[in-house]
């Protein structure tokens, strides 16, 4: 059995993930195949409902792709700030390109996105533990921001629709509680790690050097709220366009806010199948049929990939103009 903190410090938690032909990899691959096959079977039985795709106009798709480009740029900025706590000379587009490489690799191995980023930054001189901590900061605040957005959306739905089911309220409370718990651990763990009584556990006590300033946390949270806002609007547009009984943007966006935690927890490569079925299940609690939920999730994945691709083109052009580097001056 391995020690998680030792894995962070030695890199075994990242590098080995790309090399280890474990039973877990076969299990996740089998899960992806099963989930995608289930989607294909379900959609094949609901061919008439697939005609709803024709209601999605080019304008809606372009607007959704534009929102996803903005969301990707904001997500990159939110991940950059904690990393610059440890490495001041890290370029915005440099990180975007590395993250995109990890994003593509993540469709092969679930943890490859982090492993690629850790490996690259290790070459730049940043330790595995620092990269993992900075990643944890952005992910935990993403959970919290998603919870806040879910509560706001729930309040809006209550004003518009009146009474809501207990399952919807319970899901919202669970997402917010998860985000709050993460923020509490994030804030107090480094401070508790510095306690003299924990000195006998060197790996734990080293976390005392990983504190993040309130200013940085505030900016990261603001960026993540904006990122969630663009994703919220994208979901709202798609549900409004694809649902046989058009939903408001608020209802569609609420589905995104409630399912945002699963985009932090990677279960299968690219979370293929997992995101789609979870979105469909949550949408079903709002009386949306499973087919519409699945189609919205699939279209959302497509426009997200399009937004990422446009970001790569912009980043490549910017780096070319800057001579291949956008690192801040020393």
In 3D, which of 314, 168, 160 has the Cα closest to residue 248? 160
Pinpoint the alpha helices (H) of the chain.
Answer: 4-10, 12-19, 23-45, 47-50, 58-84, 92-105, 112-123, 128-161, 166-193, 202-205, 214-242, 249-259, 274-284, 290-321
pLDDT higher than threshold 70 for residue 205: no
d(CA 43, CA 39): 6
pLDDT computed for residue 187 by the predictor: 86
Task: Please tell me the least confidently modeled range out of 55-59, 280-284, 318-322.
Answer: 55-59
d(CA 267, CA 197): 36
Task: Please tell me the least confidently modeled range out of 6-20, 139-153, 222-236, 305-319.
Answer: 6-20
Residue 247 DSSP one-character state: P
d(CA 309, CA 307): 5
């Amino acid at each position: 059995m391995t020690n998680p903190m030792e894995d962070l410090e030695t890199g075994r938690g990242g590098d080995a993930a790309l090399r280890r032909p474990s039973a877990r990899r076969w299990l996740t691959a089998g899960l992806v195949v099963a989930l995608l096959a289930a989607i294909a079977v379900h959609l094949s039985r609901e061919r008439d409902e697939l005609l709803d795709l024709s209601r999605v106009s080019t304008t809606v798709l372009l607007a959704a792709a534009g929102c996803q480009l903005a969301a990707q740029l904001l997500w990159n900025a939110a991940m950059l700030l904690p990393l610059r706590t440890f490495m001041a000379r890290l370029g915005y587009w440099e990180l975007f390109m590395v993250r995109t490489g990890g994003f593509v690799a993540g469709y092969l191995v679930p943890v490859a996105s982090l492993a690629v980023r850790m490996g690259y930054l290790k070459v730049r001189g940043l330790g595995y533990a620092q990269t993992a901590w900075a990643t944890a900061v952005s992910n935990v605040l993403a959970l919290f921001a998603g919870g806040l957005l879910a509560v706001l959306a729930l309040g809006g739905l209550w004003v518009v629709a009146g009474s809501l089911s207990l399952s919807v309220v319970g899901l919202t409370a669970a997402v917010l509680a998860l985000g709050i718990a993460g923020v509490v651990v994030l804030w107090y763990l480094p401070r508790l790690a510095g306690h003299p009584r924990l000195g006998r556990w060197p790996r734990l006590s080293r976390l005392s050097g990983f504190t993040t300033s309130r200013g940085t946390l505030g900016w990261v949270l603001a960026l993540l709220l904006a990122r969630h806002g663009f994703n919220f609007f994208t979901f709202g547009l798609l549900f409004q366009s694809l649902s046989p009984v058009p939903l408001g943007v608020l209802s569609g966006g609420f589905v995104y806010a409630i399912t945002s935690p699963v985009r932090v927890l990677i279960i299968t490569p690219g979370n293929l199948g997992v995101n789609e079925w979870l979105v469909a299940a949550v949408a079903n609690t709002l009386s949306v049929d499973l087919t519409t939920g699945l189609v919205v999730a699939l279209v959302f994945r497509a426009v997200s990939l399009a937004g990422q691709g446009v970001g790569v083109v912009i980043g490549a052009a910017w780096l070319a103009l800057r001579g291949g580097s956008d690192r801040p001056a020393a």
